[in-house]
Structure 1
């Protein structure tokens, strides 16, 4: 494909090369960097809008600061594509999010210019403060710069870090990248506060002089600025909240104007002594019309045509699991006014935007605040509602204390819809849904389900809606379903009961989740060899179907469990049951197929599951190995 012409960018191999460029050349560099970012993501797909929104900011930060000595931490890391291009990785930028290629987020093992990995939000200020204190204590030298989006600022962790930083009074730079939009439009009081800060644009220069820049002005001008500050007492003045936390506030400034960015950053780099918050206004998707006009400003894109922005998605006849969940929840809510939806800044990703369209007063997007989402749902349940708390598996980890303390101990009937369960492909290890079964199934009173296909998901939504005895969770993967026949309406399942799909002999395979399709392929291959296994869809990791599992153990030589999760989950609970019932004393061979004890880097889901050892040929091999039968000895 044709690549953009980039004569200035071609001269920049590392950020140190930018020190030789004039400000005029830096303007040219920004334009070329934007073109290169668009071109690269059109080939690989990925998070486009966030990177386009910080092109000028990226150029300014690397022109002023001295990475990697100075630590620039991107929050969330999907802003970092332009940063990667400028930091020695341009030759690999068209391998983004592919097997063996560059991560779609910052990653310490990838480059010294990525001082801290950030694929979850709201961590940058805490990490930057750690770097700043480490430098004071004799660790790595250099300044620490956190670049945090306004959506990420809605999480409590960001304010915990700012409170601590303000108290410690160490030199620290926090760049608030305020693009008025994270993945979804930002919600809540903080968003309204930031909007008010720049609502009166002509007033900003005066407020900047009167507020954050006072201590940095030459001494003859400081007294006048102080008097101006006194005049503004009692008025709504930009930066008040941040200054109360101990930060000097600078801004708002235009994050796409290098003539503003460069002098401000240079002044702060030269003179700041304590923590500074630099409020930068940007536009997500800036400079690429298809992204700017998109509802999500080009947040996540498949491969696309650069000229038109048209995405090159592979058509599928099967609905996505996310859509199946959303439509099923809407159907349940039509007949039950107590059902409400809760999500943490992911209404589109979880499908709850469909629910919001149908029941706007019963849908709550709480922002990037998973801990609050869980406890808020607990309060709704305690108040008599039926909350469905829809959070990706990888993000639910962030609210685990609340799951234990506020939900499980109180046996509140919060329904957890866990999207992106299992290995997720291009987003890699940081977004894999590996641990939810293990960390939920060990909690007393929890019901934990996994859908084997999209039809089962419909029934599990109905099961959760009907379950009022305590917390219940159901997990399902990213992407399209299996293309199975869909029920018109979900039917509540009997709690703790699995289903036998195929009767066999010698070996029984219990599948928990969507690896069932691979189990069935393995069963076909085994049957062709003369060994027909019994196949069971377990449905529940907790409570287990004790009667069924013990019956299988009595009538088979071997029992094998398969799940898309880490050790400690379904298979571990089965092993505990078998041990308690002394089944192993009778000679049963038991094996558990789980995700390996490693973090698996990005690749296609099929490749990732091959690395994990959980595709059909590997399941077949596990059966043969367990029974001690070699391929040569099998009938064909």
Structure 2
């Protein structure tokens, strides 16, 4: 339920008609509205609760959408979305055919830039500001709100460096809550902490040294102070920087007390914040936890093992190694490029480096993957969590491109375990000492085996496995798609005609096995949870052409389009890689 003030707000023009007392009341109503919706529909909670007053103040002072406002990271923007015409459909947030959980240009004129990853706002807003000046629009304001630890990324400083000599009409607002998804780390965090506790960094102010007018720190929950300082800064030309102190989860006690858990808490009681209990007894463990626990086991016996993650110790479950071996596990902040090259540097000294990173975030370090790791053939072990379709976070977060973007890189091994035991054994194999870097990709969520903790055994690199014999069609699957294929064959009326091979390795392919498949079968189906263009199926087609295979090859994977948000079951159905979609392929091929 909306409150009586929020009921009147359909766009920021309505907001600007309110008195100061009404704005304060609106802040309370907006905060409660976010809590009530996210409690039942799920989503990112803490970050948006922390910027309620800032969201109101920005739309009150600035003439949005004429003035351009960029939110970074975009999961802070729930209040912004509600105030800009999406209040009545906010309950569809992150759901199939609903609004996105992040700003999205195609969704609203108030969403000036898509910000599903992090640290892009300063560069984007600067680009807008320079373009506006070139077009003769010198009055337009350009505001980048950068928060949840995004300021520590290298790209943010690249933007600051350029903006400082640009004379652009740019306002950078640092939403400083000392935490991303996990607590912030690094020297910059310590520098900002000094400002938070009252030390005003003037003589050695890093921001003023970059030619910005620095204001702050300001209490981000003091609406009166925010309105005054934003009103003043609006009149100042050139690059400006406002340091705002907020509390993530503000207004919900449990979210304030446990900011990591309440970043995206799932369903909870809106009145108390108490998380709803789910019976997980007997369910398989999450893949990320299998990785985390297995790495600790291996690190206990192999002192050369080091763990690195860019700001995802909880999400990747590297936190278990950080607890067990704090001197050998590192969270480097939102700095994927640094994480990859740091791993490479350690590998040159004989360290066995596990770089735990989400598939979609490795995209941000593509140059480092090629130049700093693969070109030098350094045996870094990349553990790519969230491979495949990840669900409600949508197009910005799906890990569907990794096979395609990594397969073209020389020296790089790419493998996808079909279950948790294979994941453990691949981790074990990798730390024994490989001559090449390796990508081990695995999905978000729970595995398929209850008895996952089995004795380690070595896996032969490039070796595929026949899971089922057949007579007419050979299905070649990769990773967790093996389970879907097996189920589809089991339920299919002509299942006896279908053979199934778990290829495991995208690179190197098991060419010996493929030669046998080519001789026996005139029809082949490849199944993957990555993009069809350039992915696993493409690799099979390339080898088939080289081997002069004359049969029919069909590829089943993610089509050549961006898949939006929805739960994984819905999205796999849309992509046609669910059990029913695989069976439809069987029917068309037989």
- Which deviates more, 12-21 or 133-142? 133-142
Residue of structure 2 equivalent to 1:283: 247
CA distance in 1, matches of 2:207, 2:338: 22
User: Paired residue for 2:131, among 124, 129, 134?
Assistant: 134
Is 1:621 equivalent to 2:584 in the alignment? Answer: yes
Q: CA distance change for structure 1 residues 591 and 314 in 2, over 3 Å: closer, same or farther?
A: farther
- 1-structure distance, mates of 2:63, 2:425: 56
Contact 1:108–1:114 (Cα < 8 Å) also in 2: yes
TM-score, normalised via structure 2 length: 0.97
1:197, 1:237 within 8 Å by CA — same for their partners in 2? no
Tell me if the contact between 2:47 and 2:148 (Cα under 8 Å) persists in the aligned partners: no
Deviation at 1:313, TM superposition (A): 5.7
Q: What is residue 498 of structure 2 aligned with on the other side?
A: 533
State the Cα distance separating 1:532 from its structure 2 match. Answer: 2.7
1:374 to 332, 340, 358: 340
Pairs within 5 Å for 1:433-472: 433-472=399-438
Q: How far does residue 624 in structure 1 lie from its aligned partner after superposition?
A: 2.5
- Summarize deviations over 1:512-553 as a string: whole Å, max 9, x none: 011111101211133x33643111111100000000011011
Q: Structure 1 residues 312 and 150, CA, compared in 2 at 3 Å: closer, same or farther?
A: closer
The CA deviation at 1:259 is: 1.5
Question: Is the alpha carbon distance of 1:25 and 1:542 closer, same or farther for their aligned partners in structure 2, counting shifts above 3 Å?
Answer: same
1:185 aligned residue: 183
Residue aligned with 1:280, SS: strand
CA distance in 2, matches of 1:34, 1:530: 54
Match for residue 226 of structure 1? none
The residue aligned with 1:117 is: 114
CA distance in 2, matches of 1:22, 1:596: 51
What is the CA deviation profile of residues 412-441 of structure 1, one whole-angstrom value per residue up to 9, with x for unaligned ones? 000000000000111011000011111112
- The CA deviation at 1:139 is 7.8
d(CA) in 2 for partners of 1:88, 1:154: 32
Shift of 1:268: 1.1
Name the SS of the counterpart of 2:161 in structure 1.
helix
Cα pair 2:359 2:386 within 8 Å, conserved = yes
Alpha-carbon offset, residue 297 of structure 1: 6.1
Distance 2:159 2:473 in 1: 54
Q: 1:153 aligns with which of 151, 161, 180?
A: 151
Equivalent residues of 1:150, 1:176 under 8 A apart:
no
Q: How does 1:454-533 map to 2 (within 5 A)?
A: 454-526=420-492, 528-529=493-494, 531-533=496-498
Paired residues, number: 586
Distance 1:515-1:373 versus aligned 2 partners, 3 A rule: same
The 8 Å contact of residues 563 and 571 in structure 2, kept in 1 or not, is answered as yes
Equivalent residue number for residue 258 of structure 2: 294
Contact 2:42 2:264 in 1 (8 A): yes
The aligned counterpart of 1:215 is none
The structural deviation recorded for 1:295 is 4.5
Q: Is 1:328–1:490's contact at 8 Å kept on the other side of the alignment?
A: no
Q: Which residue of 1 aligns with 2:213?
A: 248
Measure the CA separation in 2 of the matches of 1:119 and 1:263: 30
Kept in 2: contact 1:150–1:182 (CA 8 A): yes
Contact 1:510 1:538 in 2 (8 A): yes
CA contact (8 A) 2:74 2:115 kept: yes
Decide whether the 8 Å contact of 2:73 with 2:148 is kept in 1: no
Is the 8 Å Cα contact of residues 327 and 354 (structure 1) preserved in structure 2?
A: yes
The secondary structure found in structure 1 opposite 2:164 is helix
1:34 aligned to 25, 31, 34, which one? 31
1:38-49 mapped onto 2 (5 Å cutoff): 38-49=35-46
Per-residue deviation, 1:465: 1.4
Partner of 1:600: 563
Following superposition, the deviation at residue 308 of structure 1 comes to 2.8
Aligned to 1:208: none
Cα 1:80–1:176, aligned 2, differ >3 Å: closer, same or farther? same
CA contact (8 A) 2:68 2:142 kept: yes
Question: CA–CA distance in 1 between the matches of 2:450 and 2:46?
Answer: 35
* CA offsets 1:229-268 (integer angstroms, 9 cap, x no match): xxxxxxx527711111111100011000011100110111
Q: Deviations over 1:458-487 (max 9, x none)?
A: 111112212320101100111111135324
C-alpha displacement of 1:574: 1.2
* Cα gap change, 1:238 to 1:10, in 2 (>3 Å): farther
- Cα deviation code 1:165-210 (max 9, x no counterpart): 1111111000000001111111111001111123236xx5xxxxxx
Matched residues in 2 for 1:596 and 1:263: separation? 50
Q: Distance in 1 between matches of 2:171 and 2:144?
A: 6
Q: Determine the C-alpha separation between the residues in 1 that align with 2:539 and 2:587.
A: 23
Distance in 1 between the 2:112 and 2:363 partners? 23
Change in 2 beyond 3 A, CA 1:315/1:451: farther
- The unaligned stretches of length 5 or more in structure 1 are 205-235, 628-636
Give the Å deviation of 1:310.
2.6
Q: Is 1:75 the counterpart of 2:72 in the alignment?
A: yes
- Is the Cα contact below 8 Å between 1:453 and 1:484 reproduced in 2? no
How far apart, in 1, do the equivalents of 2:126 and 2:346 lie? 36
Question: Aligned equivalents of 2:273 and 2:495: distance in 1?
Answer: 52
Give how far 1:602 is off: 0.5
What does residue range 258-269 of structure 1 map to in structure 2 within 5 Å?
258-269=223-234
1:400 paired with 2:397, answer no
Give the root-mean-square deviation of aligned CA atoms: 1.4
Distance 1:110 1:454 in 2: 39
Residues 57-89 of structure 1 show CA distances to partners (whole Å, capped at 9, x for unaligned) of 011101100111111110000000111110110
CA distance in 2, matches of 1:563, 1:150: 34
